[in-house]
Amino acid sequence: MATIMKPEQASEAILRGVAPDGLIVDGELSFSTYYQRSKQSAPLTRLPDDLQVGKLHLRGCGDLRALPKRLRCEQLEIYDSAITWLPADLQVSNSLTLDSCYYLKSLPYGLKTRHLTLRRCQRLTRLPYGLQVTENLSVTACENLEYLPSQLSLRALDISGSKIIALPADLRVTQSITAEGCKQLDSVPPLSVETLDLSDCTSLQELPDGLQVRNLSVAGCTALQRWPSDGIPWLRRLNMRGCMRLRSLPPGVRELDELDLRDCDASLALPERLRVRKWLDIGGLPWRALPLSSRGFRLRWNGVAISGHIVFHPESITTDDIFAEENAEVRRMMLEHLGYERFFQSAKAEVRHQDTDPGGVRQLLVVPMPGDEQLVCLSVHDPSTGRQYVIRVPPWIRECHQAAAWIAGFDDPNDYHPVAET
């Protein structure tokens, strides 16, 4: 006959080594090395076979080398464990989390659960055939994971930072796939998914025909050079920041909600009839205009909402415009487009400090900014070009030499002794 205990009773019996097999715990069991040491109790070395519990939480239990036979629970969480394998008859109905299980080499064939989280399991190279995860599968910082099993069908998949080379051809994910930083991933099947994040997959050169996705990020995919030949029919949000080899948007795209083109190739062409409903980010692009049909776009510059005249007509920006701007981020964008040299020439800057270097007189200039920190720049003359440069430095800097040292990358100005400053 099964024995039923409350969590406190069960925990004490297990640590004393007198808990019977077939124990049923009404609630949650939690064991941790720190807690046991603080209470001066015996370390956890064994759990009873046929244990049934709602939630089992194990943290740093280095003396526990194996889970019991026929363990059944709704949630199982194991952190920083020396366990090398899980029993084939393990049953976890809702969620299984394995974090920092550095010695874990494999999971059991046919493991079934709703949510599976694997994090920092360094010896895992593949997941088992027959794995069934119906909701969320998250495999992050498992640096040696190279393969996913076939016939996976789930709601969300996260394989960020893994060594996976290709996604299975029969993979089915309804909601989202996150493969950020999978630098060896070079093949993606024709998926049908709501959100696909391939950011920083630097080996990916093309996307497959038949791909269907609403939200797509290929930011940092520096090798990507080919869109699906038939386009991406469902596409509503596209992030292609830093994709220097792409010269166009996907074929047939005419309307998007959001489009991020930061640091793309300057020759990238927008379709004449393109409509972007929410925002277009063109940070870092030296464009002088947008297509005539794109008038009315809400523009961003590196994530900051900004007006078209600031981006395309910086010569129209005045010092008074900058002082009148209440948004600090927009003011910073205006300064970048106007140029610090022009701004300091007309802003009546104060001289905080002045000295000389081989190029001549240099000055530390200060302009108070309403509602923001002071704007401080070092004005120096370059004898090789004959130009005067104005370079922004942190507001806490008090002297020219300190500013020059900071620009050169020195934390301590006393370590900075150039033969000549240019």
Bigger pLDDT: 164 vs 313: 164
The percentage of the chain sitting over the pLDDT mark of 70, rounded to a whole number, equals 95
Residue 211 clears pLDDT 50, i.e. is over it: yes
pLDDT band, very low/low/confident/very high, at 422 (cuts 50, 70, 90) = very low
User: Residue 199 above 50 pLDDT?
Assistant: yes
- Answer for the pair 267, 289: CB distance below 8 angstroms, yes or no: no
Using CA atoms, how far apart are residues 94 and 84, in angstroms rounded to an integer?
22
Q: Which residue has the tokens 């394998």?
A: 85
- Please report which residue ranges of 17-101 form alpha helices under DSSP H: 33-38
Residue of 157 and 301 predicted with greater confidence = 157
pLDDT confidence tier of residue 1, bands split at 50, 70 and 90: low
pLDDT-wise least confident of 2-16, 249-263, 267-281, 398-412: 267-281
**203 — pLDDT class (breaks 50, 70, 90):** very high
Residue-wise DSSP of 224-274: --B--TT--TT--EEE-TT-TT--BPSTT--EEEEEE-TT--TT-B--TT-
Mean pLDDT of the chain: 89
Report pLDDT digits (tens) over 69-118. Answer: 999 999 999 999 889 899 999 999 999 999 999 999 989 999 999 999 99
Q: What's 11's DSSP letter?
A: H
Instruction: Quickly state the pLDDT bin for 291 (edges 50, 70, 90).
Output: low
Query: pLDDT confidence of 383, banded at 50, 70, 90?
Result: confident
pLDDT of residue 13 exceeding 80:
yes
**CA angle centred on 229, ends 226 and 231, rounded to 5°:** 100
Ranges of each domain in the chain:
1-145, 177-305, 348-415
pLDDT tens, residue by residue, 241-283: 999 999 999 999 989 999 999 999 888 888 878 889 999 998 8
- Judge whether 258 and 238 are in contact, CB under 8 Å: yes
Q: pTM of the full predicted structure? A: 0.81
Q: Which whole number is the average pLDDT over 391-397? A: 92
Which structure tokens are listed for 222?
């520096």
Residue type, 318: T
**pLDDT recorded at residue 318:** 80
Highest mean pLDDT among 61-70, 157-166, 170-179: 170-179
Average pLDDT score over residue span 148-165: 93
